[in-house]
A and B are shown apart, each in its own frame.
Chain A
């Protein structure tokens, strides 16, 4: 099982859960499985070309998948995935 940390703005599609457990041998497979249980999450993470949106970062065990093999980054049991969007506010 993979533990996925869900950022606050995405918790609307995970029923408020901040962490979800899901299967998957790669990041893209994990996202597919996640979308089966939590419809809508894929559209929030991917752009119209099916790539991870540029302002969203996905980390596997604290490594940015862009420095690994992107969506094809392999996952193994016990891995932790964090989805990290940018936050703008401050005023």
Chain B
């Protein structure tokens, strides 16, 4: 396993766990995790995975740090405002754990680059803030055959679930296509409790660690919804949709495409408005 004394000390609380041990820690070191979005969900996920000793973390985000991000995006600090998010993230991850190799992509995940980027990783985390990107990640992970841990947050609510392509329900099995523009509010319009991003992103990191270590039961075929107002979790069981356009028995989606991006406008008359 070849862990140094220092590494054995650093990871001692993992190694103490019979389910992890030195063997599990070596699996984590070998693992490559791809995080889409270095924002509200990507921040806690990346930090916990880095602390856990994941060998390689890939981070993709084309944005720069904005002052309004700091309320929840804990990878970025006040002096980082205006800087590239992936660069800021890389520094924080290295400061936390120099063992981690950070591969950064200062670009957007697009139909033409998604599979190529995802291909070399073992697990993917969805930390993006819009439906077209969430569908693109779902589809790309299906075609690349990579497990995906989905997360979503809004106001006081969060949701997490894990997708093992071809084995468990995918995002499209459940939600089929993005809501029409304006039908569902985004964090930018509706707000978000920063700590909710922390809870969901941390759950995503935990799911990734379980998948890599092969521990327990993954959050597949279950949507786990968190409501911070009442501090309750509730689980909705789902299953694969045999008529899923992507992973069903007669798929109609055979290549990646991008849904028309949502407008930022929010029309209370359409769909489920947020007060």
Interface on A for B, CB 8 Å cutoff? 5, 7-10, 12, 18, 44, 53-57, 59, 62-64, 66-67, 82, 84-91
Say how far B232's CB is from chain A's closest CB, in angstroms: 8
Who on chain A is nearest to B191 by CB? A89
Whether the pair B41, A8 counts as a contact (CB closer than 8 A) is no
A24 to B181, CA, bound (A): 33
Interface residue tally for chain B (C-beta within 8 Å)? 55
Whether the pair A9, B272 counts as a contact (CB closer than 8 A) is yes
Whether the pair A44, B186 counts as a contact (CB closer than 8 A) is no
Whether the pair A86, B223 counts as a contact (CB closer than 8 A) is no
Name the A residues within 8 Å of B262 (CB-CB): 88
Whether the pair B152, A59 counts as a contact (CB closer than 8 A) is no
Whether the pair A87, B157 counts as a contact (CB closer than 8 A) is yes
Say how far B236's CB is from chain A's closest CB, in angstroms: 5
Q: Does B128 contact A (CB under 8 A)?
A: yes
Name the A residues within 8 Å of B234 (CB-CB): 5, 82
Whether the pair A54, B177 counts as a contact (CB closer than 8 A) is yes
Say how far A30's CB is from chain B's closest CB, in angstroms: 17
Q: Does B187 contact A (CB under 8 A)?
A: yes
Name the A residues within 8 Å of B239 (CB-CB): 64, 67
Who on chain A is nearest to B176 by CB? A54
Who on chain B is nearest to A43 by CB? B269
A67 to B176, CA, bound (A): 14
Whether the pair A57, B174 counts as a contact (CB closer than 8 A) is yes
Whether the pair A90, B177 counts as a contact (CB closer than 8 A) is no
Whether the pair B237, A62 counts as a contact (CB closer than 8 A) is yes
Q: A53-B271, A85-B184 are in contact. Are A90 and B175 (CB under 8 A)?
A: no
Q: Does B113 contact A (CB under 8 A)?
A: no
Q: Which of B39, B126, B153, B178 contacts A55 (CB 8 A)?
A: B178
Whether the pair A18, B241 counts as a contact (CB closer than 8 A) is no
A82 to B275, CA, bound (A): 20
Whether the pair A87, B177 counts as a contact (CB closer than 8 A) is no
Name the B residues within 8 Å of A57 (CB-CB): 174-175
A63 to B221, CA, bound (A): 11
Say how far A17's CB is from chain B's closest CB, in angstroms: 11
Whether the pair A87, B176 counts as a contact (CB closer than 8 A) is no
Name the A residues within 8 Å of B37 (CB-CB): 90-91
Whether the pair A55, B129 counts as a contact (CB closer than 8 A) is no
Say how far A1's CB is from chain B's closest CB, in angstroms: 19
Whether the pair B184, A8 counts as a contact (CB closer than 8 A) is no
Whether the pair B152, A86 counts as a contact (CB closer than 8 A) is yes
A63 to B155, CA, bound (A): 27
Q: Which of B234-275 contact A (CB under 8 A)?
A: 234, 236-239, 241, 262, 271-275
A57 to B162, CA, bound (A): 18
A61 to B56, CA, bound (A): 41
Say how far A41's CB is from chain B's closest CB, in angstroms: 10
Q: A88-B129, A89-B129 are in contact. Are A44 and B272 (CB under 8 A)?
A: yes
Who on chain A is nearest to B131 by CB? A88
Say how far A14's CB is from chain B's closest CB, in angstroms: 12
Q: Does B179 contact A (CB under 8 A)?
A: yes
